[in-house]
Amino acid sequence: MKISVIGCGYLGAVHAATLASMGHTVVGVDVDPGKVEQLARGAAPFHEPGLDELLQDGLATGRLSFATTAAAAKGAQVHFLCVGTPQHKTSDAADLTYLVSAAEALLPHLAAGAVVVGKSTVPVGTVDMLRGLLAARPDVLLGWNPEFLRQGTAVKDSLVPDRLVYGVEGGRTAAFNLRTGAPLGVTAALDAVYEPLLAAGIPRLVCNFATAELIKSAANAYLATKVSFINAMAELCDASGADVAELSEAMGMDPRIGGRYLHAGLGFGGGCLPKDIRSFRSQASALGVAAVDDWMRLVDTVNLGQRGRAVSLAAELCGGNLAGRSLTVLGASFKPDTDDIRDSPALDVADRLAASGAHVTVTDPKAVNHAWRRYPRLRFEASTERALEGAELVLLLTEWDEYRRLSPAIAGGLVRRRVVLDARNVLDAAAWQAEGWLVRGLGTGRTEDQALERALPRA
């Protein structure tokens, strides 16, 4: 099939490259000339494991190309809308400006019988709005196919997804021929797009538009709830002397609960989860569902509160005063295996530490070049070893594998004092303690006063 992908940011670039790898002829369209030029060279404008190789393969076969105008989408049978839907600047609601612009730009180039499919995460009711934009083209079909990509594993998530969801007019009962069971309209088109995945046994769910619009936001709301819940338990553990790692392990053994996303730490960030749960709140409020609005507000509050807790613990580990202390922050990206710094908990904490008078050096395997312009109060260092030199407190704020594997003996020879705040609870505390480190986590119990006194930097 010939397919267009409108919007070549994180979602669109991955989707376009994945579809080309399935054998389709794909054109990716984006209004940013620099981004298009970079993608056309086979280089992703962001760090995502495996994506460069996928891009280069698609370009080499001639099945993948990129352009800056929607006219390049002419003749495509299926058009995917993959533009961003960020949080609105003046409210918690999603900003659909880019989505509307993309649909309007695409409209003159749609062939009769073409299928327009949204993949962006949107509030419920968005399809109704787009239906109005496409009203002049009754010969064009509209569908919704939400994405479920995770940064750092997006290529795998695209090639081997957990499920495929189709939102179609009339829902499941209207998606198939009642006599033969054969798929119709949008369902048939998407089955053709994803034929290799369906043949491999990937489950497919066909539903109405409202359900398809809500699925991604509901899934993210549930994951955010699990993260915030275990972080609230971490605060309770610190207050009581319990250990949240042991608590979550025991909880996770219950098959009704499961252990995934029950890992206490600094909380979530990034360009998706925070804005999605705020948009979810906004939708619930508009629909008069106060319980969801209140619930998501609490989830967001608990999550953001972890950042303040980390700053308070850092001050405690520095004798109650951060002014003039030399601190090293391990991690700048919002999660490992990405260079994305949007709503990064690590950088938020680092900036708060600097605002309290500390001298903060931040290091990260991939995100330093993105971060240094936006955070002038912070010092950035690409080398972990150089970043650690002279540190009075080390804070592990993004759980990159290289920080998990960091040698406590080597690190101990570089710092001024062997004190580490493991805000992601990923270090082997016993191994670090054996090398003379004081290790503090979030929810791992209160620090022994004697150990803290020995480890505190001298004024």
Residue from 372, 347, 342 nearest 86 by CA: 342
The token pair at 44 is: 């992703």
- Residues 166, 143 contacting (CB under 8 angstroms): yes
425 phi-psi bin (left φ>0, alpha ψ -120 to 50, beta other):
left
Query: Residue 178: how many CB atoms within 10 A of its CB?
Result: 9
Based on DSSP, count helices (H) and strands (E) in the chain, helices before strands: 19, 14
In DSSP terms, 328 is beta-bridged to 361, 394
CA distance 103 to 268: 31
CA angle 363, 424, 220 (to 5 degrees): 105
- Residues 166, 174 contacting (CB under 8 angstroms): no
First vs last Cα of the chain: how many Å apart?
A: 69
Marked catalytic residue, from 8, 237, 272, 318: 272
Residue from 444, 459, 451, 379 nearest 419 by CA: 451
- Residues 118, 127 contacting (CB under 8 angstroms): yes
Residue from 437, 399, 409, 440 nearest 422 by CA: 440
Asked about 272 being catalytic, the answer comes back as yes
- Residues 338, 152 contacting (CB under 8 angstroms): yes
Annotate 16-43 with b (16+ C-beta within 10 A) or e (fewer): bbbbbbbebbbbbbbbeeebbebbeebe
The sign of the torsion formed by the CA atoms of 83, 87, 93, 98 equals negative
CA distance 154 to 377: 32
- Residues 233, 443 contacting (CB under 8 angstroms): yes
Identity at 70, one-letter amino acid code = A
Q: What residues act catalytically? A: 272
